[in-house]
Amino acid sequence: MTKKIKLNAQTKSEPNGRAKKIRNSGYIPAVVYGSGITNTAIKIKRHDFEQALALAGESNLIDLSIDDKEPVKVIIKEVAKDNIKDNIIHVDFYRVDMSKKITTEIPLSFINESLAIKELGGTLIKNIDSLEITCLPSDLVDHIDVNLGQLQNFGDLIRIEDVKLPAGMALVSRTNEVIVSVTEATKEEELVKPAAAPSEEAAGKTEEPAAAETESDKDKEK
């Protein structure tokens, strides 16, 4: 079940060249697009969007109200960030048609404990953290569960085709790609260790002949 998330925006009247000024004023430039509608340039308060992103991610519907008009259903399609501070600099919203299926990425949530890890000391290897699915917008969910309780022995694995999808969802492409697996942990004693330094006892033994030789030299002097 999707969360009810609301977000307000304003039409962006400034030309593209003034995007920096918009960001400096506490807003983020954005665009809304979708099938059968004209692209609309907007701006949204940074704080409001960051809260909506934390709740919605890229797999939940958002009720987006532009200039206080009737909200439209959108999903976050792309979030652009700068390469230096990782700040959000632009957002793409996709307006959905509730009667038409969409394709999107749904994050995976790994639940329950693996006996192979808890009791046998295995290592969990995760290869995939989301699945590309198709569904009606009303069937969108926050995440898809992957049950780690199935992993009971070394070598056990879970493939994409093993995951039970929520009602109304279908994989964009069915593959036997491995999502997660368990391997036997490498034992410390199997690692190559550097040669140990000689013990104090061994070191002492090497010095005894030298000491004996010194005493012999003294006898000759007499």
Encoded amino acid at 136, one letter: L
Q: Are 133 and 141 in contact (CB under 8 A)?
A: no
C-alpha distances (whole Å) from 117 to each of 74, 154, 184 are 41, 9, 9
- pTM of the complete model: 0.72
Other C-beta atoms closer than 10 Å to the C-beta of 129 total: 13
- CA dist 167 and 131 (Å) reads 15
Pairing of strands 123-126, 88-95: unpaired
- CA dist 12 and 41 (Å) reads 5
- CA dist 138 and 118 (Å) reads 38
pLDDT tens, N- to C-terminus, the chain (222 residues): 456 899 999 998 765 558 888 999 999 999 999 977 889 999 999 999 999 999 888 889 999 999 999 999 999 999 999 998 899 999 999 999 999 999 999 999 999 999 988 888 899 999 999 999 999 999 999 899 999 999 999 999 999 999 999 999 999 987 889 999 999 877 553 444 455 555 554 445 544 444 444 444 545 444
Q: Each residue of 129-179: pLDDT tens digit?
A: 999 999 999 999 989 999 999 999 999 999 999 999 999 999 998 788 999
pLDDT of residue 26: 94
pLDDT of residue 222: 47
Domains (range + CATH), the chain: 6-97 (2.40.240.10), 103-189 (2.170.120.20)
pLDDT of residue 17: 54
